[in-house]
Amino acid sequence: MSTVQSRPTDVIHGKIYDYPVYYDIIFAADWKKEFQFLRDCFSEHATGQVRRVLEPACGTGRLLIKVAQAGYDVIGNDLNPQAVEFCNRRFRRRGLEPAAVVADMADFRLKRKVDAAFNLINSFRHLPSEQAAVAHLRCMARALRKGGIYLLGLHLTPVSRRICDDECYTARRGTVTVKSRLWTKSVDSRKRVEMVGMTLDVTTPAKQLKLVDEMPFRMYTARQFNRLLAEVPELELVETYDFDHDINCPIEVDGHSEDVVFVLKKT
């Protein structure tokens, strides 16, 4: 008869972004559709050829590395030094020049302009205020050459119902298994802040770990996002998609829309 030995779980309250290796196991698993969508948008919406690509808030570089390996010249920035280090190690391991730098996506300047940029999974909502959001869009407009595009993906707040998401995923890399849970803890509509709880349960042959975090995400209804865009007229809205990332299925955004990728073109 075998006995099941249960090991104690270390519980760490901290920033999940400070543990890029576990973040990456969950989020890097599913990259193919997003990657194909990026390439489709580059050819469908950018004027001229796309060679040089920026990802603001690139995190672990889960997508940036795929774009680089497809032959594009890439750069990324992120506020978190651990994520940037993880990303650059990933590039070096594959014989590529490190592509990421520590920088604030609302306060950066590039030496050379890019043909396209992308920011697909809500990082934009980490910007805590309207001023920071406008500053970010101005940085992006300055970073893009004329006719270049910025693909910006975020969850909008639908007018019809309160946000009440609870998402769980499990992914495995080698001997490490990570289970994630993401849920809305509270919503302050007046301050436009959704507080999101996140846990990662990590199992390795040597240990069990639970990372517990919560982070504020700024909220945007479709109307609030359109008002924001009007502040930066150098970025023209040319198309919208949902998180199915299907170039053949553009969508009409209205007050009920939730997951939207905005295609913004530098005029």
Ligand X SMILES: C[S@@+](CC[C@H](N)C(=O)[O-])C[C@H]1O[C@@H](n2cnc3c(N)ncnc32)[C@H](O)[C@@H]1O
Residue ranges that bind ligand X, judged by CB under 6 A: 17, 27, 57-59, 62-63, 77-80, 83, 104-106, 120-123, 126-127
What is the smallest separation between the CB atom of 153 and ligand X, expressed in angstroms?
9
Based on CB atoms, which residue is closest to ligand X, 11 or 102?
A: 102
What is the smallest separation between the CB atom of 159 and ligand X, expressed in angstroms?
25
Burial of 77 (0-12, 13-18, 19+ CB in 10 A): buried
Q: What is the number of the residue whose Cβ is closest to ligand X?
A: 59
Long-range contacts of 171-180 (CB under 8 A, 24+ apart): 171/25, 171/26, 171/29, 172/25, 173/25, 175/204, 175/205, 176/22, 176/25, 176/202, 176/203, 176/204, 177/202, 177/203, 178/22, 178/25, 178/26, 178/202, 178/203, 180/26
Based on CB atoms, which residue is closest to ligand X, 57 or 117?
A: 57
What is the smallest separation between the CB atom of 1 and ligand X, expressed in angstroms?
45
Based on CB atoms, which residue is closest to ligand X, 77 or 180?
A: 77
In angstroms, the CA 80 to CA 19 distance is 10
What is the smallest separation between the CB atom of 70 and ligand X, expressed in angstroms?
16
Based on CB atoms, which residue is closest to ligand X, 127 or 202?
A: 127
